[in-house]
Every structure is written in C-alpha cells, then in structure tokens.
C-alpha cells in the first residue's frame, strides 16, 4: 500500500494535465503548409478559368519590368531601396500584428496569399509561353523565394501563436514576447538574404531567361 496516496494522485492529475496540454497545442498548431498549398491551388486554377480576360496583360507587364531592369534602366541601389521599403514594411507590420488580435487573420491570409501569388505567376507564365513560360515563372521567383517561403511560414506561425494567446485572453508575458522577438530577429536575417538575392541575383537570372525566350 502506498504511503503517500495524495502525492501519487497529484502526480497522476498533473501528468494528465500535461498530456491534455500537448494535445491542445497540436490541435492549435498553425497549418502553414496546408494554407500555402490551398492558395497555390487557387492561384493555378483561377488564371486557367479567367485566362481569356486580362491575365495576359499582367504577365506581359511583369516580363516588361524584368526586361527593363535587365537592360540596366534601374540601378541596383535604387532597386534595393525599393525592395527594403516594400518587403521591410510588410515584415514589420506582420511582426507588430502578432501583438494584437489581428495576427491570427493576418497569418491565415498571408499564407493563402503567398501560395496564391506563386501559383498565379506559374500558371500565367505557362499559359502564355508554354514550356518557356515555366522557366520565366521560375525566373520571376528564384532564388529569393527559396528564402521567402520558409521565412513566412516560420514567421506567420510565430505571429499566429502569440496573437492566438490574446484571443484566448492569456495576455502578453515578458518571456513569451522576448521569445517572439528573438524568433522574428532570426527570420529577419534569412529574409534579408532573400532581399539581397532578389536585388542582385534574380535580375541576372531573369536576363538569361528572357534571352532564352527571345530565342524561341
């Protein structure tokens, strides 16, 4: 017979509570990949359905912009400034939303939009240029999105988790906020690498691909 039945009972209850906590964490885990794939699927389907309307013009506008940059009409420094302003503003806004109730809908919408954007670029390029268009679509996105996709998945998961705590009235504790900001800082480093590749490597790739398309 156990000499401390109360202690054993307390440990059993504590263990059960920990199990329930782990189950709840799994249930509330941010479905970043699922949302991204849903957006990607929509981005592939919509251009195919509406192809005969105005999608061609948007693809041509993207190709035209890339051809201008490849020709040297936009300086690398000016392009970098624009990228930092646009990408940086979006990043900061996302991080700040994590401290509010807006973080949850932003995380969901952000992953859907990211998937939709990539799916749309791929679909429109292929629809207009066939096999060569697939290469153009890749040229629009590489190599920067090899950085952007994992960064946004990681960051949106952090934004979701912190914001979800506000939805559940758990509040913002110093320890949790500190971990959140550290995570955002790590994401920012990788994000900055993506910006640099978009500025200095992507235009070179785009120029080569545009030459390839002109060949056909």
Residues contacting residue 120 through CB under 8 Å, at least 6 positions apart: 43, 44, 46, 47
Residues contacting residue 96 through CB under 8 Å, at least 6 positions apart: none
The answer to whether 43 and 36 have CB atoms below 8 angstroms apart is no
pLDDT confidence of residue 212: 67
Please, what's the b/e burial string for 98-115 (b: 16 or more CB within 10 A of its CB; e: otherwise)? bbeebbbebbbebbbbbb
d(CA 73, CA 141): 20
pLDDT confidence of residue 23: 45
pLDDT confidence of residue 147: 97
Check whether the bond before 143 is cis (ω within 30° of 0).
Answer: yes
pLDDT confidence of residue 99: 93
pLDDT confidence of residue 27: 53
pTM comes to 0.77
Q: What size, in residues, is the chain?
A: 216
Residues of the chain with pLDDT under 50: 1, 7-8, 10, 13, 17-18, 20-24, 64, 68, 71-72, 215
């Amino acid at each position: 017979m156990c000499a401390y039945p109360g202690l054993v009972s307390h440990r059993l209850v504590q263990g059960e509570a920990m199990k329930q906590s782990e189950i709840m964490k799994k249930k509330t885990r941010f479905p970043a990949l699922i949302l991204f794939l849903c957006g990607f699927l929509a981005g592939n389907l919509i251009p195919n359905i509406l192809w005969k309307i105005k999608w061609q013009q948007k693809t041509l506008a993207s190709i035209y912009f890339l051809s201008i940059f490849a020709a040297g009409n936009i300086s690398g420094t000016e392009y970098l400034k624009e990228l930092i302003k646009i990408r940086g503003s979006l990043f900061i806004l996302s991080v700040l939303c994590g401290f509010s109730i807006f973080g949850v809908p932003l995380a969901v919408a952000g992953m859907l939009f990211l998937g939709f954007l990539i799916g749309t670029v791929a679909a429109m390029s292929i629809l207009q240029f066939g096999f060569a268009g697939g290469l153009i679509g890749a040229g629009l996105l590489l190599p920067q999105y090899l950085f952007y996709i994992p960064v946004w998945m990681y960051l949106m998961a952090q934004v979701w988790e912190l914001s979800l705590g506000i939805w559940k009235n758990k509040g913002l504790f110093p320890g949790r906020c500190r971990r959140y900001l550290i995570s955002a800082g790590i994401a920012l480093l990788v994000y900055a690498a993506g910006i640099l590749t978009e500025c200095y490597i992507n235009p070179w790739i785009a120029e080569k691909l545009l030459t390839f398309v002109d060949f056909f």
